[in-house]
Structure 1
Amino acid sequence: MVAHIVIPIVVIIVLIIVLVVTGYISDPIIDIPSLAIIGFLSYRMFYVIIKTRKRNLYSYVGKSGKAVDDIKAGHTGYVIVEGEYWKAIAKEDIASGDEVTVIGMQDLNLIVKKKSNEVII
């Protein structure tokens, strides 16, 4: 985990030193912070893109969440699953605040049902 932070910082520092020594940076007081900010923002942008591309939408099946809206059976509403708002289709009537379980996906909608409180022995 530390390597994800240290490696980009080292690369940025080496790049800045090379640019100062070769004369491409004429005013280090302005150019160095600007390059550092641009470098950090670029790194974060690519990190987020790569992280979201690895996400498998079907990994939400079986996860628990909470209903934001009252959702009638067969209709759509919103739920929160793993901290993200999702549009959901209810298999049964769900009240706002109820715990839900994701049982499938249809397009970009989660298919949810009320979470059962049964204990399987």
Structure 2
Amino acid sequence: MSERRLIAYVHVDGVAYGPDDEIPAAVAKMIGDHAWADGSEASVDEGQGKTSDTTSPPPRTGRGSGAEAWREFAARHVDADLDVSGWSKEQVISVLEEAGVIEREQPKE
């Protein structure tokens, strides 16, 4: 397992990993350096709360995975003329997948 800590949620092969997750070594090798916190886990500010990273998509489940978070993410990453207000989370995710902004979630085996 990796001892490094992520700064935000990332999706690898359809699986979401977050700052508090233990990342398998094989998965850690696929995550870019920009997604890791600098220094050791002990130096990370535990009271940090939300991250200012606007390039990573919200998680698909759990805290921060609501429709509003996905609509805000879509507004930053798709055509400005596309009005996603009122869309469900599933509708927004589908459009983002079709546009190639995010990877399709693979069914868990």
Is TM > 0.5 for Structure 1 vs Structure 2?
no
Which structure would you say has the larger Rg? Answer: 1
Q: Shorter-chain TM-score: what band?
A: under 0.3
TM-score by length of 1: 0.19
Q: Which one has more relative contact order, counting CA pairs under 8 Å at least 6 apart?
A: 2
TM-score by length of 2: 0.20
* More helix, by proportion: 1
